[in-house]
Amino acid sequence: MRLVWIRAAIVGAVVLTTVAFLLAFFVAAPAPFGEVRIPAAQVSGAQLGPNQPVGVEGDNMVFLRWDMGQKIFYFHVPVAEASFLVFLFAAVYGGLFLAKRDRKWDTRSRIAMEVTLFFVLLTMVTGVIWTKWAWGVWWQWEPRLTTYFIMTLLVVAYFVLRNSVEDEERRATYAAVFAIVAFIDAPISFLITRVLPSTHPVVFKSGGLDGWQLATFIIAQLGMLLFGFAVYELRLHEERLGERLEVLKNSLGG
């Protein structure tokens, strides 16, 4: 892909994610969690502002509490879904390498796994931040967190495997096989922890999203996907340049 289009994709991704960020904090309705009661005598007209009371109970006025931590949802879920999608591409490219034995598929599979690793790390970081905010602990062996941690281990294992094999064709074959097996394993992990009885309740506020919330989410998702695509193409471009450099060096006898 021509460099100008890659640059356009990067700019588009940055624009989309920035727009999503601004929408998330200024436009999308925050999700409430619970209510707080303040004695009416303490509430002055000047304090009300954007947070209007929703009711009156005796002497108290009832306000909704806003969960600002929910905002991270607009970035955490898009990166998680992007990581899965790129993982799929990596597995498919691996399969194509096994079928056609053309080195370019192995290169594409490796680059796709690098992008997957990038998104997986982003997901883990945003997830840990959200866990701390929502539940007060940095980590919880909750189904989604556990299986995502397993996926992180699988992606890291892919690179450990690649580094352990010297012969190029063997490395590509083993990596492709492992990418396929790992991709089959990842959804199974998700389903299994959903179904097995666990001691922790799954607390996730995933109700419906209203107008602006949905728009923010979609824009963020598109931005992250475009970002992943742009990074992948950029890396591919870099690999091609590297190969051309090698050919030139060899032809010059160096």
Partner 1 sequence: MAGPSDRVDEAAVRAAEAADAASPSGREHVEPYEAAALAAHSPVAASPNSWRQFKAILRKDVSMELRTREMITSMGLYALLTMVVYAVALNAAGEGFDILPIAGGLLWAAFTFMSLLGLNRSLVHEQDQGCLEALLLSPVDRPIIFFAKASGNFIFVSSVELLALPFFYFFFLQGKGFGLNPLLIIPVLVVGTVGIAGVGTLLATISVNTRGKDFLLAVLFIPLMFPLLASVVSATSAVIMGGDGSMTQLWQGLALAAGYDGIMLVAAFGLYEFVIGA
Contact residues for partner 1, defined by CB under 8 A: 98, 147, 150-151, 153-154, 156-157, 160-161, 164-166, 169-170, 173-174, 176-178, 180-182, 184-185, 188-189, 191-193, 195-197
89, 135, 168, 250 from 116: Cα distances, Å: 9, 27, 22, 33
Q: How far is the CB of 160 from partner 1 (least distance, A)?
A: 5
Q: What is the C-alpha separation between 251 and 253, in angstroms, rounded? A: 5
Q: How far is the CB of 149 from partner 1 (least distance, A)?
A: 9
CB closer to partner 1, 49 vs 201: 201
Q: How far is the CB of 152 from partner 1 (least distance, A)?
A: 9
Tokens of 211: 């107008």
Do residues 125 and 80 make contact, with C-beta atoms less than 8 angstroms apart? no
CB closer to partner 1, 37 vs 104: 104
One-character DSSP codes across 213-251: HHHHHHHHHHHHHHHHHHHHHHHHHHHHHHHHHHHHHHH
Q: How far is the CB of 220 from partner 1 (least distance, A)?
A: 29
Q: How far is the CB of 151 from partner 1 (least distance, A)?
A: 8
56 φ/ψ angles, rounded to the nearest 5 degrees = -130, 135
CB closer to partner 1, 128 vs 180: 180
CB closer to partner 1, 131 vs 189: 189
30, 32, 73, 76 from 68: Cα distances, Å: 7, 9, 10, 14
Q: How far is the CB of 202 from partner 1 (least distance, A)?
A: 15
Counting Cα atoms < 13 Å in the Cβ hemisphere of 231 gives 21
Helix (H) or strand (E) holding 10: helix 3-26
